[in-house]
Chain A
Amino acid sequence: MSDGKVFMIFQDTADARPFIEALTQENPAATIIHQPGMIRFEAMGEIGITRAVVEELAGRDVDLQELHLTLISLSGNIDEDDDYFRITRH
């Protein structure tokens, strides 16, 4: 992990809500930028979410790959499994 910047951008829609809230909760150091139609999360080195948190927020079972529906863009190296989704800089 380094101090390079990573980001994730989501659509500002109801479907993206559990992911947006999980990102907010789980990455307190991240900067959150609202722009028309979208929300951008920026952080140094790493950003990520875990399935348990997203499920808790959504109030249902969630497959993390559902983030493909509302993710607009990202920057960094992806590390993904059933239970977490992370973006890092080496």
Chain B
Amino acid sequence: MAKKLNMRKRYELLTRGLGWEPTYQSKEKVFSNESYEGIKITDWSKWEDPFRLTIDAYWKYQAEKDKKLYAVMDSFAQNNAHLNLADATYVNALKLFIQGVTPLEYQAHRGFARLARQFSGEGAQIACQMQSLDELRHTQTQIHTISHYNKHFNGMHDPFHMHDRVWYLSVPKSYFDDAKSAGPFEFITSVSFAFEYLLTNLLFVPFMSGAAFNGDMATVTFGFSAQSDESRHMTLGLELIKFLLEQHEDNIPIVQGWIDKHFWRAYRVLALVSAMQDYMLPESPMSWKEAWEIYFVENAGALFNDLARYGLRMPKYHEQATAEAEHLSHQVWGTLYNYAHAASMHFWLPDEKKMDWLSEKYPNTFDKYYRPRYEMWAQMAKEGKRFQNGGLPQLCQVCQVPMLFTEVSKDDPMQISYRSSEFNGEKFHTCSDGCKDIFDHEPEKYVHAWLPVHQIFQGNCGGAAIPDILNWYHFKPEDGGDYAGSADETRWKAMHGETTGAASSDTESAEEKAAA
């Protein structure tokens, strides 16, 4: 038998011959997406895939990962391990995850399938094909893991339907729609580099570690299992950027523009993650600000030092994002609390212990700006005047987040930040300089944004009254509102043998018997 080939050789043999010259159609026609963005590729063979994973090794390792993950999920279900959670409020983070993140995994699957078909370089085709399969695996394993929670808690019954319609989910959805409706090079810069390389650690590393800390071994296992593919995805993002910059100097300003845009877009999506990290984890090993320092400031700093020799600089407005780290999660959580009646998950006010932790983690901002707000809302709730916002918020035309961000970098953190632009005689509103720049660069694209609030007012969302709209979202009345007094809370207490005054018929459900 022949001697085993080394890794480099094996990889060359895997890809050899896949990049044949078409004969009965022109190459431009076969790979019709490759040129319209103005990116110049002179030699695809310069593409380096440092992992050099061959397809047989790929299947072997992915099968192994799934085997381990499903073993954990099985034992989690058999042992009713959801009973070991630190607190049931934690499950609301999983609701946001299955509604907001899992559908993005599926969008990524579709996006990379397109790239695997449209790139003419064989190394890039293979990397994109593997990633497309990975993302489908992430979708499936997340659905499987969280389906266990769906048996015991509300709000997780129809995440894909919700993703397409719900106001707070249009934030992640519109980010991916934006990337997917762009050309292939912009898509991959957006998803692989701006999102996966620069920011995905913030979602999957500290949050998943927090899941472990709160007793959710099933979620941490799928999270880290997905993240083990992510090292490959991040590497694809980095190699792609280096490749584009080396191919032609004309690519540099185009790529820099995309990095600026998609860094800011992805950062705005992560506003939701900041709230998950600081407020939805009952016990939090790391704050959003600490995670931002480690995974963005340090990491991106070192990375862009590396990339400076290609003529690339840090993404525009990164300083603003860093300044906002002291405020972000508090502003988002406050807004979610105001609209709890229109959500398919529960929100709550932080208790004393949580507020003390927040004061410690945010010494410059929490006691000064946000604790008084929560204390006032707690007082109002006690007096039977629970504060909620009855109107619909103005949304940013680009990131689609309600106007809740403030002028932090202008030293005016209590002033909501508003920007606007004129286009074709109409006025369009944005939440920040970052979003305004994005709008002004491609107004033709963003005037078509599907903004949930505008759609409600135009009568496209099931009716004029809030219950009609929630019904159109497939929300059930018990899905939203405060955690205190919710069906989830009643059930959680029943599972632990505590009774509440308002026992609903839900408490007699199967899981209680299973737990007994």
Contacts and interface: CB of A to CB of B under 8 A. Distances in A.
B224 A11 contact: yes
A77 B210 CA distance: 28
Contacts of B235: 74, 78
Interface in A22-79: 35-38, 63, 65-66, 68-79
Contact of A75 (B53, B61, B211, B299): B299
B288 to A, nearest CB: 15
A72 B61 contact: no
Nearest to A66: B61
A56 to B, nearest CB: 20
Given A4-B306, A36-B209, A80 B7 contact: yes
B6 interface: yes
B234 interface: yes
B416 to A, nearest CB: 35
Q: Is the interface of B mostly helix, strand, loop or mixed?
A: helix
B220 interface: yes
Given A73-B201, A73-B204, A81-B7, A36 B210 contact: yes
Interface stretch (B105-113, B225-233, B312-320, B370-378): B225-233
Given A65-B53, A69-B228, A80-B51, A38 B209 contact: yes
Interface residues of A, number: 32
B64 A2 contact: no
Contacts of A74: 231, 234-235
Q: Which of B201, B213, B228, B286 has the most CB of A within 10 A?
A: B228
B65 interface: yes
Contact of B228 (A6, A72, A75, A79): A72
Interface string A1-18: 010111101010001000
| B: interface residue count bin | 35 or more
A90 B301 CA distance: 13
Given A4-B305, A4-B306, A80-B7, A73 B227 contact: yes
Contacts of A76: 302
Nearest to B62: A68
Nearest to B235: A78
Contacts of A69: 61, 64-65, 68, 228
Nearest to A78: B50
B57 interface: yes
B64 A36 contact: no
Contacts of A65: 51, 53, 57, 61
Contacts of B201: 73
A65 to B, nearest CB: 6
B400 to A, nearest CB: 28
Contacts of B350: none
A63 B10 CA distance: 14
Interface of B: 6-8, 50-53, 57, 61, 64-65, 68, 201, 204-206, 208-213, 220, 224, 227-228, 230-232, 234-235, 238, 285-286, 298-299, 301-303, 305-306, 309
* Pairs A-B, 8 closest by C-beta atoms: A37-B212, A4-B302, A78-B50, A36-B212, A36-B213, A72-B227, A36-B209, A35-B209
7 contacts: A37-B211, A66-B61, A68-B232, A73-B230, A73-B231, A81-B7, A82-B6
